[in-house]
Structure formats: structure tokens, C-alpha cells
């Protein structure tokens, strides 16, 4: 069954403790945490100190999506703060192979993310150090954007590329019940969603609708 990872980017930032509890009760599989630096992407969110404060309020795995330049700078702090998965962007990591093995050395699962314009070939030689591939289905930086259809092809290709390996495919951006279906069909294992979980209605119904 496909896993659902709500992105707290669209949650009530003034009440995150409560939001985490609600998500757990509503059947979320993990919590997706979008870390943005205002440089790799044109937006700012939060960093390790906030994640550390959130950690005691949820039993779900923390899936940290680093949309930052020089991601290697933040790995140890993210691991200490309680990240279970740390995902870096292939476009931001100059020495991607080293960065991914450092994440594993810190005891976390290593994820690599691809912007919509980045071809999947760039990760071909690092697959031995990867636990998760995050395919961006919007240009990262903001919630509430429209799904980019061309990425369905990338999901299919990545699925073929990782055949026989224990690597999860996660998709992020513009996921709603329709696009969720398309992504699952193409090979996605984990769906990240912000707007379609938080914007209206009950979280539990919204999560069920995606699943």
C-alpha cells in the first residue's frame, strides 16, 4: 500500500504539536519536513532547532527534505534533531556520493531529490548509497502549486532504473487524489502532500482519499 507523508509546510505553524498529534491519529505514515534556506529555493522555513522540539510530539518517522545549498553542512544537526530520513537535492550536493554515505553513517536513511528539470541519469552511479529517491512534481519552494505532468515519465524511468534494489520512490508537489493515482500507477511508494491534506476537511478523510 502507498505511504502518505503529510508536509507540515501547510500546517498551522502556531500549533505544530497539535498538528502532529492529529496527523498520527489520522493515519499518516511519516511526517515530511520541508527545510528551505532562501537560496537554493526562494523561501525560508525552519531548521534543526524546530525539528528537535517537534520530535517528542510524534512517534512517526521524520522525513526531512533539505532544500538548501551545501546540504552537507546540516546533516549532523538534522540527525541529532531526530531525522529518520534525510533527503538532499542532487542539484545542491557537489559531492553527492560522499554526502549520501555521510547520511547513512549518521544512522539515517539517505534520500536524493531531483528537481523537475533534472534527468534521472545524475543519480545512476550513487544508487548503492541511496534508500529513497524523491521526485519533485513541482519546482520546490512553495506549497499549493500544480502538478507537472512530465514527471510521470521520470517516475516510470526511475522505477526501471532501481529494479531489484531496495529503494523507495517518493513524489512531492501537487499531489491530490487524481495525481496520486497517476503517481502510484507509475511506481511511487510514498506520496507527500500539503495542500490536499491541510487546506480543507478532515485530515483522516483527506489521507484516505489519497490512499
Please report whether residue 143 would count as binding ligand DX5 according to CB under 6 A: yes
Q: What residues does 110 pair with on adjacent strands?
A: 86
C-alpha–C-alpha distance, residues 80 and 103, integer Å: 12
Q: What residues does 170 pair with on adjacent strands?
A: 134, 190
- How many other C-beta atoms lie within 10 A of the C-beta of residue 200? 8
Among 56, 144, 177, 201, binds ligand DX5 (CB under 6 A): 144
C-alpha–C-alpha distance, residues 46 and 17, integer Å: 15
Answer with the entry of ligand DX5, Zn ion, none that 31 interacts with (C-beta below 5 to 8 A by kind).
Answer: none
Closer by beta carbon to ligand DX5, 53 or else 142: 142
Please report whether residue 92 would count as binding ligand DX5 according to CB under 6 A: no
121 is catalytic: no
Among 61, 111, 174, 187, binds ligand DX5 (CB under 6 A): 174
Kindly name the residue from 29, 34, 37, 131 that is annotated as catalytic.
34
Please report whether residue 11 would count as binding ligand DX5 according to CB under 6 A: no
Mapping DSSP to helix (H, G, I), strand (E, B) and coil, where does residue 21 land? helix
Mapping DSSP to helix (H, G, I), strand (E, B) and coil, where does residue 28 land? coil
Kindly name the residue from 29, 37, 172, 189 that is annotated as catalytic.
172
The grid coordinates of residue 66 equal: 533539505
Closer by beta carbon to ligand DX5, 10 or else 58: 10
Q: Using CB atoms within 10 Å of the CB of residue 53, give its burial: 0 to 12 exposed, 13 to 18 middle, 19+ buried.
A: middle
C-alpha–C-alpha distance, residues 125 and 122, integer Å: 7
C-alpha–C-alpha distance, residues 188 and 59, integer Å: 24
63 is catalytic: no
Closer by beta carbon to ligand DX5, 81 or else 191: 191
* Min separation Cβ 168 and Zn ion, Å: 14
Closer by beta carbon to ligand DX5, 38 or else 128: 38
Answer with the entry of ligand DX5, Zn ion, none that 118 interacts with (C-beta below 5 to 8 A by kind).
Answer: none
Mapping DSSP to helix (H, G, I), strand (E, B) and coil, where does residue 178 land? helix
Please report whether residue 173 would count as binding ligand DX5 according to CB under 6 A: yes
C-alpha–C-alpha distance, residues 207 and 89, integer Å: 26
* Min separation Cβ 112 and ligand DX5, Å: 14
Binding site residues, ligand DX5, CB under 6 A: 7, 9-10, 32, 34, 65, 138, 140-145, 172-175, 192-196
Q: Among all residues, which ones are annotated catalytic? A: 34, 172
Amino acid at each position: 500500500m502507498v505511504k502518505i507523508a503529510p508536509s507540515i509546510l501547510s500546517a498551522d505553524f502556531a500549533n505544530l504539536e497539535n498538528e502532529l498529534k492529529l496527523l498520527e491519529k489520522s493515519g499518516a505514515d511519516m511526517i515530511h519536513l520541508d527545510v528551505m534556506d532562501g537560496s537554493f529555493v526562494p523561501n525560508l522555513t525552519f531548521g534543526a532547532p524546530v525539528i528537535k522540539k517537534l520530535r517528542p510530539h510524534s512517534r512517526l518517522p521524520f522525513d526531512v527534505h533539505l532544500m538548501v545549498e551545501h546540504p552537507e553542512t546540516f546533516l549532523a544537526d538534522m540527525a541529532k534533531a531526530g531525522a529518520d530520513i534525510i533527503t538532499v537535492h542532487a542539484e545542491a550536493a557537489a559531492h553527492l556520493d560522499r554526502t549520501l554515505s555521510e547520511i547513512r553513517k549518521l544512522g539515517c536513511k539517505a534520500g536524493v531529490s531531483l528537481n523537475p528539470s533534472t534527468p534521472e541519469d545524475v543519480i545512476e552511479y550513487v544508487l548503492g548509497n541511496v534508500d529513497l529517491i524523491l521526485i519533485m512534481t513541482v519546482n520546490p519552494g512553495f506549497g499549493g502549486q500544480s502538478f507537472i505532468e512530465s514527471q510521470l515519465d521520470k517516475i516510470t524511468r526511475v522505477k526501471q532504473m532501481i529494479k531489484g534494489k531496495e529503494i523507495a520512490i517518493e513524489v512531492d508537489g501537487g499531489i491530490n487524489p487524481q495525481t496520486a493515482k497517476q503517481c502510484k500507477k507509475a511506481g511511487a511508494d510514498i506520496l507527500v502532500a500539503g495542500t490536499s491534506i491541510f487546506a480543507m476537511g478532515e485530515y483522516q478523510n483527506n489521507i484516505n482519499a489519497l490512499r
